């Protein structure tokens, strides 16, 4: 199957899969009249409806606000409902804002108070600091490599697919000073998942459902990136991959590290990743140093299949980590045995959309069992 054929298949199934199963937020629209349209997903049972008559929910036409508002239950604030407007490219919003704000400029970023900052992390690529902008916590990333081409590639990776609920939201950029400002997520990255769930002390069934939703979100992220012809080449160990994913306030996932997004079938990872790759499929490790010219269709198709299969190969490991080993998720793990076995098949791996569908079916089965036992989820 060629990359072109695979990409066409993704396009055919994309609208059927992502619109109803991978989002937690309720998307609410209001018009000048009293009537309104509500598009509500069934991703988790924890979302609450915000009255459409609330001033926060009124349709706005200024500052590039789309007229739609996203609302969710904030697990870090006793599940209180938080809302913000949905924005178009080049704009952002944060909880409680009524209008979208244009991405912060170099001048605006320079005005952010850096006296009282918290150093979050210093990686080989970026230095991360927690700062405050208009009383909102934000993350300032300083790209350490001074090479212009390197800096342009990283800023392009963060900018190109904005805005999207699967991506860390960009708040501002200053390419001249190699700065990127992004939204801060209180629960941080997912390799601390067990600590987060221990802290929240959720009812057993609710936690199990959220853990399964994380699998759905991750499969949706893989499908989304592949739909855009991209893959993350540096997720060479499970821990590394988990640190690239962040919990949102409503315990969904966003990709928070986009430094090494590469083009499927064209770009391979830098060679140094191969030395530490303990998480790759046999086909990926074998072809890791191969690179193709975009004009070499045969090479592109072969390498694209390797890149796509590599993402699928990792799905069972990531999902198993999210589900944990608790007896409360044992029935879910049983439901996913077949699809996870297929993901480890060297010759005929399923598409991301097929894995996503299997995860959604497992969620439906879990809810049916819960209803059968008269368990009510809020």
DSSP states along 57-83: GS---STTEEEEEEEEEEGGGTTEEEE
Write down the pLDDT at residue 25.
Answer: 37
pLDDT bracket for residue 356 (50, 70, 90): very high
Write down the pLDDT at residue 58.
Answer: 34
Look at 12 and 54; give whichever has higher pLDDT: 12
Look at 94 and 58; give whichever has higher pLDDT: 94
Mean pLDDT (the chain) is: 79
State the average pLDDT over residues 28-54.
Answer: 31
Write down the pLDDT at residue 294.
Answer: 73
State the average pLDDT over residues 290-305.
Answer: 79
% of the chain exceeding 70 in pLDDT = 74
Q: Which of 35-44, 98-107, 182-191, 362-371 has the lowest mean pLDDT?
A: 35-44
Look at 117 and 282; give whichever has higher pLDDT: 117
Dihedral sign computed on CA atoms, order 337, 340, 345, 349:
positive
Write down the pLDDT at residue 6.
Answer: 43
- pLDDT for 242 beyond 90: yes
What are 78's two structure tokens? 């006793």
Beta bridge partners of 84: 70
State the average pLDDT over residues 168-181.
Answer: 94
Look at 203 and 9; give whichever has higher pLDDT: 203
Four-point Cα dihedral 262, 264, 265, 271, nearest 10? 30
Q: Which residues contact 57 (CB under 8 A, 6 or more apart)?
A: 28, 30, 50, 51, 69, 83
- pLDDT for 335 beyond 80: yes
Q: Which residues contact 231 (CB under 8 A, 6 or more apart)?
A: 225, 261, 262, 264, 307, 308, 310, 311
User: Which SS3 state, helix, strand or coil, does residue 261 take?
Assistant: strand
Four-point Cα dihedral 157, 160, 165, 171, nearest 10? 80
Q: Which of 17-21, 92-96, 318-322, 369-373 has the lowest mean pLDDT?
A: 17-21
Over residues 48-75, the pLDDT tens digits come to 333 222 333 333 334 566 678 899 999 9
pLDDT bracket for residue 14 (50, 70, 90): very low
Write down the pLDDT at residue 272.
Answer: 52
Cα distances (Å, whole numbers) of residue 171 to 94, 100, 144, 208, 252: 9, 11, 19, 33, 20
State the average pLDDT over residues 151-179.
Answer: 92
Strands 230-232 and 126-133: unpaired
Write down the pLDDT at residue 151.
Answer: 84
Look at 173 and 117; give whichever has higher pLDDT: 173
- pLDDT for 47 beyond 50: no
Nearest to 218 by CA among 180, 185, 246: 246
Q: Which residues of 317-337 are buried (b: 16+ CB within 10 A; e: fewer)?
A: ebbbbbbeeeebbeebbebbe
Look at 216 and 1; give whichever has higher pLDDT: 216
pLDDT bracket for residue 153 (50, 70, 90): confident
Residues 260/227, Cβ–Cβ less than 8 Å: no
How many C-beta atoms surround the C-beta of residue 243 within 10 A? Answer: 19
Look at 84 and 24; give whichever has higher pLDDT: 84
State the average pLDDT over residues 76-105.
Answer: 95
How far apart (Å, rounded) are the C-alpha atoms in residues 112 and 97?
A: 18
- pLDDT for 244 beyond 80: yes
Write down the pLDDT at residue 298.
Answer: 82
Look at 28 and 369; give whichever has higher pLDDT: 369
How far apart (Å, rounded) are the C-alpha atoms in residues 264 and 352?
A: 14
Over residues 120-150, the pLDDT tens digits come to 776 667 889 999 999 999 999 998 888 888 8
């Amino acid at each position: 199957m060629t990359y072109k054929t695979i990409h066409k298949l993704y396009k055919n199934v994309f609208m059927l899969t992502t619109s109803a199963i991978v989002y937690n937020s309720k998307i609410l629209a209001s018009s000048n009249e009293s009537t309104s349209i509500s598009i509500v997903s069934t991703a988790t049972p924890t979302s609450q409806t915000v009255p459409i008559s609330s001033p926060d929910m009124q349709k706005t036409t200024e500052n590039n606000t789309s007229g739609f508002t996203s609302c969710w239950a904030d697990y870090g604030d006793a599940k209180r409902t938080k809302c913000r407007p949905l924005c178009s490219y080049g704009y952002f919003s944060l909880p409680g804002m009524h209008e979208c704000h244009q991405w912060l400029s170099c001048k605006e970023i320079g005005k952010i108070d850096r006296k009282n900052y918290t150093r979050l992390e210093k990686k080989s690529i970026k230095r991360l600091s927690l700062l405050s902008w208009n009383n909102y916590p934000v993350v300032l990333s300083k790209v350490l490599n001074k090479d212009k081409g390197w800096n342009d590639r990283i800023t392009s990776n963060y900018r190109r697919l904005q805005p999207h609920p699967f991506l860390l939201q960009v708040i501002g950029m200053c390419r001249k000073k190699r700065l990127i400002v992004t939204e801060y997520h209180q629960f941080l990255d997912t390799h601390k998942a067990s600590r987060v769930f221990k802290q929240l002390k959720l009812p057993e069934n609710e936690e199990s459902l959220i853990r399964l939703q994380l699998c759905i979100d991750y499969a949706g992220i893989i499908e989304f990136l592949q739909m855009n012809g991209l893959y993350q080449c540096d997720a060479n160990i499970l821990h590394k991959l988990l640190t690239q994913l962040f919990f949102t306030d409503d315990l969904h996932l966003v990709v928070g590290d986009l430094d090494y997004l590469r083009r499927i079938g064209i770009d391979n990872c830098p060679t140094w990743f191969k030395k530490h790759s303990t998480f790759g499929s046999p086909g990926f490790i074998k072809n890791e140093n191969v690179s193709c010219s975009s004009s070499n269709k045969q090479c592109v198709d072969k390498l694209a299949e390797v890149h796509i299969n590599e993402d699928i190969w990792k799905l069972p490991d990531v999902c198993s980590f999210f589900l944990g080993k608790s007896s409360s998720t044992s029935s879910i793990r049983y439901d996913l045995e077949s699809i996870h076995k297929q993901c480890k098949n060297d010759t005929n791996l399923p598409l991301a959309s097929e894995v996503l569908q299997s995860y959604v079916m497992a969620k439906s089965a879990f809810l049916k069992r819960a209803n059968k036992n008269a368990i009510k989820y809020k």
